[in-house]
């Protein structure tokens, strides 16, 4: 809820039933009330005011916030009540939204983006979430990636698919992934594919061409080039070195 004028001397609020008289606080210019949190209000005098109410489903806000701050950070923010008196920037966004809803002039994505900006500006989003605090992926996130790669027949995922696996935006994921591993997501993935190729060369009778096809390389030459760059040997030479 966003008030376009100061109502602090006219409206009281409390989270305790029957507590408006004893356990109250003044209404601020903007408040966020998480789903399920009780709130009672009381007017102390007649007062003319205008306000904007936004009711947004938690799943929509999770979908909006998670790519940037991670699912854990988003959930933490959504569970925290917020009461703000200084709302200069938020009030400007709210006014733009009111004007657009009253007299639609642009694509619906414009109003939706204004709602998203208001949410991001109002919520108490933790800045020390694991993804943002040290610019690194957590071990749990790396484990998720490894499991997802291992579950793929050809060990291939796009950067967008890898980012979605750990609940981050593609651009932020690419940044923190390199900080974590020292390499790019696609280079790391290629190294995992070469590891699988080594296992198949050592433990199976598959031809190099068959291994290349199984792991999604365009042909045997493609696998050989990638294998030599990472392992320092061709697949055939590496296989001979493993034999007693």
Higher pLDDT among residues 150 and 33, named by residue: 33
Among residues 237, 1, 35, the alpha carbon closest in space to that of 119 is found at: 1
Report whether pLDDT(125) > 80: no
Q: What is the pLDDT of residues 206-216, one digit of tens each?
A: 999 999 999 98
Domain with CATH 1.10.10.60 in the chain: 134-244
Among residues 121, 168, 106, the alpha carbon closest in space to that of 142 is found at: 168
Query: Rounded to 5 degrees, what angle do the CA atoms 194, 175, 118 make?
Result: 140
- Indicate yes or no: pTM above 0.85: no
Alpha carbons 232 and 225: distance in angstroms, whole number: 10
**E-state strands within the chain:** 2-3, 11-14, 25-26, 30-32, 40-43, 51-52, 82-84
Q: What is the pLDDT of residues 127-154, one digit of tens each?
A: 555 444 456 788 888 888 888 888 877 7
Residue 4 and residue 95 in contact, taking contact as beta carbons nearer than 8 Å: yes
Dihedral sign from CA coordinates of 205, 206, 207, 212: negative
Report whether pLDDT(155) > 80: no
Supply the pLDDT for residue 135: 66
Looking at domain 134-244, which of 1.10.10.60, 1.10.10.410, 3.30.1360.20, 3.40.605.10 is its CATH number? 1.10.10.60
Dihedral sign from CA coordinates of 161, 165, 167, 173: negative
Report whether pLDDT(228) > 90: yes
Which distant-in-sequence residues (6+ apart) come within 8 Å of 62 by Cβ?
71, 74, 75, 78
Supply the pLDDT for residue 130: 44
């Amino acid at each position: 809820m966003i008030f376009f004028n100061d109502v602090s001397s006219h409206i009281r609020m409390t989270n305790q039933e029957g507590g408006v008289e004893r356990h109250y606080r003044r209404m601020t210019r903007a408040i966020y009330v998480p789903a399920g949190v009780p709130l009672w209000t009381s007017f102390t005098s007649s007062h003319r005011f205008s306000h904007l109410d936004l009711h947004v489903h938690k799943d929509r806000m999770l979908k909006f916030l998670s790519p940037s701050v991670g699912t854990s950070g988003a959930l933490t923010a959504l569970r925290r009540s917020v009461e703000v008196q200084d709302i200069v920037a938020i009030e400007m966004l709210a006014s733009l939204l009111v004007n657009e809803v009253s007299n639609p002039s642009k694509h619906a994505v414009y109003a939706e983006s204004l709602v998203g900006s208001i949410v991001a500006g109002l919520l108490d989003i933790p800045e020390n979430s694991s993804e943002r605090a040290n610019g690194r992926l957590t071990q749990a996130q790396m484990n998720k990636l490894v499991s997802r790669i291992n579950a793929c027949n050809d060990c291939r995922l796009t950067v967008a698919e890898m980012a979605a696996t750990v609940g981050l935006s593609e651009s932020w994921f690419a940044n923190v992934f390199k900080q974590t591993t020292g390499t790019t997501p696609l280079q790391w993935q290629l190294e995992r594919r070469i590891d699988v190729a080594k296992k198949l060369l050592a433990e199976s009778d598959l031809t190099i061409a068959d291994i290349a096809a199984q792991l999604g390389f365009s042909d045997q030459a493609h696998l050989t080039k990638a294998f030599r760059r990472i392992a320092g040997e061709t697949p055939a030479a590496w296989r001979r070195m493993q034999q007693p």
